[in-house]
Amino acid sequence: MSDRTYILGIESSCDETSCAIVADGGEVLSNVVASQISLHAKYGGVVPEIASRAHIEAINSVIATAIKSASVDIDQLSAVAVANEPGLIGSLLIGLMAAKTLAWVHGLPLVGVNHIYAHGYSPAVDSTPIEYPGLALIASGGHTALYRCESPIELELMGSTIDDAAGEAFDKVASILGLGYPGGPVIDKLARTGNPKAVDFPRSLLKGQSLDFSFSGLKTAVLYHVNGVPGARRKPNQQEVGLENLSESGIADIAASFQAAVVDVLKIKLRRAAKIVAPRSLVIGGGVSANTALRQMVTDLADELGCTLRLPALKYCQDNAAMIAGVGYHYLKAGLISGLDLDARATVSR
Ligand code: KG4
Ligand code: ZN
């Protein structure tokens, strides 16, 4: 009998169907991710109904492949962990039903995991444990928030977006610039050839020492920059507005300037939060943590703050089940077992 704790994790909160088996909260034995990007691309964003249906089609084979490639028998598992909040309700329910079925059939404990906590744990996946207290920035397509972390499962919300999430802003700006979906990776790539100082886009910091974020004004500023302010008259000698009148380098400049504005805001808020937390670790997670400029900014900031930087490996930035199984280990150790009546929730309950 092995003394290792093997956890099977399931993630289906948005548009990735994923199953992983992780040993002792860190060592990834398998992590299978079925992406739905090609299904949603033509709509410029995730269509919930399409996402739910695609999860149903993928989930059985994703689970079977994860078990097979981990070379672990189901009877060696200690628990089934599943993301049950926050996310698209129809998507969450598919993973949750699969997890409940596995747990019931095999007599395993069911562990409901907060998807955001899992992003905050992602830097520890296939790596060393995070040192606490940590200051976490979770930036994805659905969330942008700062947390004070005392442990992998004790996170206190310090601030969050009052409108668009950072990833959502990347996706919408990419759409304005005619760059396709998802916008983050393509803006990231294009921004490398652009001038981040070309356009002085607004940095919305909100009132006082607020730790909340707002990205919708920035998105609108990009829209007006490209298409002109509605109702405004063109000045003499002013260049014709519209995407069709922009050169490739002009679009790259806008992408770089937009990205610089997002990264600047994140930096200012992280600095403010660090004054309160005095973190030993700066923890970054979520799809946007793959961003090159963000990764450079937090590298410099951790240096400035004199704390350790914990960035997830690129493959653990996007939604994945390895982080669910990883953080699920800590839920299990703390005795946080869920009943088979566990519900999916669109928003965070704790
Ligand atoms: O965490 P994630 O896979 O799914 C959610 O839970 O939302 O994040 C997806 C988001 C998308 O908005 C995508 O455009 C953004 O992360 N993203 C990026 C990059 N790669 C993905 N944003 C900026 N730069 C990137 N390199
Ligand atoms: Zn996510």
Q: Is 190 in the pocket of ligand 1 (CB under 6 A)?
A: no
Q: Using alpha carbons only, what angle is made at residue 166 by residues 165 and 168, rounded to the nearest 5 degrees?
A: 65
Question: By the 8 A CB rule, do 69 and 321 touch?
Answer: no
pLDDT of residue 228: 84
Q: Convert the pLDDT of each residue in 226-236 to its tens digit.
A: 998 887 777 76
Name the closest-CA residue to atom 10, ligand 1. 141
pLDDT of residue 350: 43
Name the closest-CA residue to atom 3, ligand 1. 318
Q: Compute CA distances 349 → 75, 84, 89, 112, whole Å.
A: 32, 10, 14, 12
Name the closest-CA residue to atom 1, ligand 1. 287
- Cα of 36 vs centre of ligand 1, distance in Å, is 14
> Which single residue is written with the structure tokens 């910091």?
205
Q: Is 284 in the pocket of ligand 1 (CB under 6 A)?
A: no
Edge-first strand listing for the sheet containing 281-285: 154-160, 144-151, 134-139, 281-285, 308-310
pLDDT of residue 150: 98
Q: Is 185 in the pocket of ligand 1 (CB under 6 A)?
A: yes
Alpha carbon distance 146, 119 (integer Å): 12
- Cα of 116 vs centre of ligand 2, distance in Å, is 7
Question: By the 8 A CB rule, do 11 and 18 touch?
Answer: yes
Alpha carbon distance 85, 113 (integer Å): 7
Extract the residue ranges of the chain whose pLDDT is less than 70: 1, 236-238, 349-350
Q: For residue 123, with 0-12 CB atoms within 10 Å meaning exposed, 13-18 middle and 19 or more buried, which class applies?
A: buried
The pair of structure tokens assigned to 120 is: 């905050």
pLDDT of residue 111: 98
Measured from the alpha carbon of residue 11, the closest ligand is 2
pTM score above 0.75: yes
Give Cα 191 distance to the centre of its chain.
20
Q: Convert the pLDDT of each residue in 134-181 to its tens digit.
A: 999 999 998 999 999 999 999 999 999 999 999 999 999 999 999 988
Q: Is 140 in the pocket of ligand 1 (CB under 6 A)?
A: yes
Alpha helix (H) ranges present in the chain?
37-40, 48-70, 89-106, 115-121, 166-176, 183-191, 216-227, 248-277, 292-305, 321-333
Residue 215 — φ and ψ, nearest 5°? -115, 0
Residue 281 — φ and ψ, nearest 5°? -130, 140
Mutate to test the pocket of ligand 1, among 12, 88, 170 (most ligand atoms within 8 A of CB): 170
